[in-house]
Structure 1
């Protein structure tokens, strides 16, 4: 399977017409690790009551517990973290509303003229490589990398593949995307006992997606979350030696690309969306609520204060942070901000955005001064929330003026490039991952 991807990848790169110019004054190796479906409140270092992430908890890095994903599914989110632009700015998104990815209604890929980290660093003399277990990442931006490895395997194998790729290279940028917490979860046998994961039908997939009525729902929900936590711990185990072996000069970023829902808001999701599959409050990609929009972010880079921080940041900040750490120039028009010591530590007045669903109506969420608004443009529905706790509670009675203005500050955006193409092998994997029916 990996060989087929490599061959197709070379053909796609051969057809690329856009060239970029970039230099870096302080060249360092760069490692970006994305853990699919990793939500911030399941990180033990941020207060979760199960020890899911001991290696990441001990990692010498700035630890952001309140990072916002630019989108709540992989295809739009990954180009955002690699470009510093929101989906409506890079074009990797749907052009119709409502949308139904499960019926093979595919989005457009990011515009070719939008510069991403592999474009810029490749031009600056870096070897660039993507190692991923999730095909959506490769489908979105794989052609931006000089080499790509796509194998649907557990974290231990993908980490080993990344280490092999990095070995003996003088200057490299490695993007590593791990899929163990994503359906169908990879739950290590060693941690089934650690987290007391029971044997239960369909635990690696989903049940109770249309309704929570029925026998044994609470038992199933508890088991499903335990399995998710065990999968996260398996990723953390695989990352332990990698993070320990990377030298201190290497810029390292670890994050989730979006979160995962476990029945937190079934009624609210029905109020905001009409999912064509009839699924609510599980999985991801059909809402912009906190359980899927809030992710952890770790940054090990010069100038970035290595402490725990809960101020709101965004994954669009990753690209400018890395470029700043390398002494590179951040392209004009980038929405993200560098998280280095020049950043305003009290930047609570900043407006952040999450957008682009894959099922049902598109939704946009904005955060501003500790509050959040969600708009569904197609139905002209807008709700606002005070985020005093981790998750949304009951909506506010009125929409604060500041949130109205924040929603209006983001325009309709650009048209993307060619539509995402899917071959038979990838279609089979996307079905296994729950994207297609």
Structure 2
């Protein structure tokens, strides 16, 4: 639980912090004050005094999907210098999940799972997928509609802008969709030449560019989203906004970098031989030779600039979230609009000797996930949940019939009534046959070749000690291993189909 203090946060400190899964600052993961959270809610400006949780009913949906945002938001307590006042205000006004995980640690399959309501193992979508292939891949295994299509079938007007699905938005996915600006590329305007990392095999680079916020894709997306909310709407709507920062390249205008002086940045804790006790399959799967290594970053004095650029990118996208939320409040629709904010996957910033996502370790799968709006209770939930739960949860809160094809579960009883739900470990997959299973305490990883990792987050939050070969954890591995599917589909399209 936390109380958010904007002045403290802007000074690089957090006044009263939630305890995320890792860095417990003031209270334990399970000890918090509901009174403190309600106090934070009033401070945030998202709920006004007298607007009790449970009042009103949501009829619209605002879905905000942020690209590659790891757990460095104040509400999750995992980096002391993040500057996310608008995301924190949203978290304080509703339910924030501190143990939420993507179903895949890479954009394409994660978003495919979110919008289809199906696990990657059900669709065979384990890697990046073109938007044109998303519908056929899902239709090959299920009659389900993608979330925007389902809402449209129940009378909603659906609109989106930015990176919603992996390439933006599948044709026909929305009634109205605006792709990222062609002149700005997929992730924003590019300088004439790379600033720091000269490789044509990755978007990775960092530095000050362009000159103004208005040139940034996310600012354009936020401006359009804010204008959409000011329109007259004669039917319920879904508005999906996909922000690309902090996805690489970490380019932002200079004034965002200035908020994080290099010599003041607190660096992640890393272990020099962190990969010494993981199987070869882990090293092979997580290898990203196109991206900088920690060794390179340290030798070239670029670790701090990378950290600065990532933190600045987070601050910038938080500003964009604020633009949208301010418009929602000004529109008068905050009283009937459900807001869901999530990231599609996490990101390593030196941990495990890497700067990347695309692994089955905690930093790659743990993501922010929060809901706010009429009837949503202010609370912090530490039980494991997944992005797979967004589809069934939103349609339940909006009062629509359940989609029986959904593989996740509705969190609505917990969000609106405070009813405890059974603990369900979460499943993440990266590449065919490689799985991570996460519960309240452990992360169990099993690779396609049968090799394993097991981490005890209660005693080893940084995942420095692989316990998998210790006999005393055999029961834990067996219990969590039951969640790994035995009948997963091969990758779509299969080699036979492709030929």
TM-score in terms of structure 1 length: 0.73
Q: Are 1:176 and 2:176 an aligned pair?
A: no
- Within a 5 Å distance, the mapping from 1:288-437 to structure 2 comes to 288-342=360-414, 349-357=423-431, 363-377=434-448, 379-388=449-458, 389-396=460-467, 397-398=470-471, 399-409=473-483, 410-414=485-489
Aligned CA distance change for structure 1 residues 392 and 108 (closer, same or farther; 3 Å): farther
Partner in structure 2 of residue 160 of structure 1: 223
* Cα distance in 1 between the residues matched to 2:309 and 2:382: 27
Q: What do the CA deviations read for 1:416-436 (whole angstroms, capped 9, x no partner)?
A: 7769xxxxxxxxxxxxxxxxx
Deviation at 1:118, TM superposition (A): 0.7
- Within a 5 Å distance, the mapping from 1:104-115 to structure 2 comes to 109=134, 110-112=137-139, 113-115=143-145
Long gaps (5+) in structure 2? 1-56, 181-185, 189-216, 264-287, 329-333, 495-499
Long gaps (5+) in structure 1? 1-25, 95-100, 199-205, 267-280, 420-437
Q: Are 1:130 and 2:168 an aligned pair?
A: no
SS of residue matched to 2:144:
coil
Q: Are 1:284 and 2:342 an aligned pair?
A: no
* Cα distance in 1 between the residues matched to 2:347 and 2:362: 9
Deviation at 1:380, TM superposition (A): 1.7
Which of 101, 114, 118 is the matching residue for 2:148? 118
Aligned CA distance change for structure 1 residues 250 and 107 (closer, same or farther; 3 Å): closer
Partner in structure 2 of residue 38 of structure 1: 69
Partner in structure 1 of residue 320 of structure 2: 238
* Cα distance in 1 between the residues matched to 2:73 and 2:167: 23
Partner in structure 1 of residue 337 of structure 2: 250
Partner in structure 2 of residue 428 of structure 1: none
Partner in structure 2 of residue 28 of structure 1: 59
Deviation at 1:342, TM superposition (A): 4.4
| Contact kept in structure 2, 1:68 and 1:313, CA below 8 Å | yes
* Cα distance in 1 between the residues matched to 2:132 and 2:451: 24
Deviation at 1:291, TM superposition (A): 0.6
* Cα distance in 1 between the residues matched to 2:165 and 2:423: 36
* Cα distance in 2 between the residues matched to 1:143 and 1:400: 48
Between Structure 1 and Structure 2, whose CA radius of gyration is higher?
2
Aligned CA distance change for structure 1 residues 197 and 208 (closer, same or farther; 3 Å): farther
- Within a 5 Å distance, the mapping from 1:51-130 to structure 2 comes to 51-59=82-90, 60-93=93-126, 109=134, 110-112=137-139, 113-130=143-160
Aligned CA distance change for structure 1 residues 133 and 197 (closer, same or farther; 3 Å): farther
Partner in structure 2 of residue 146 of structure 1: 175
Aligned CA distance change for structure 1 residues 215 and 333 (closer, same or farther; 3 Å): closer
Partner in structure 1 of residue 199 of structure 2: none
SS of residue matched to 1:298:
strand
* Cα distance in 1 between the residues matched to 2:103 and 2:133: 16
Deviation at 1:194, TM superposition (A): 0.5
Deviation at 1:298, TM superposition (A): 1.3
TM-score in terms of structure 2 length: 0.65
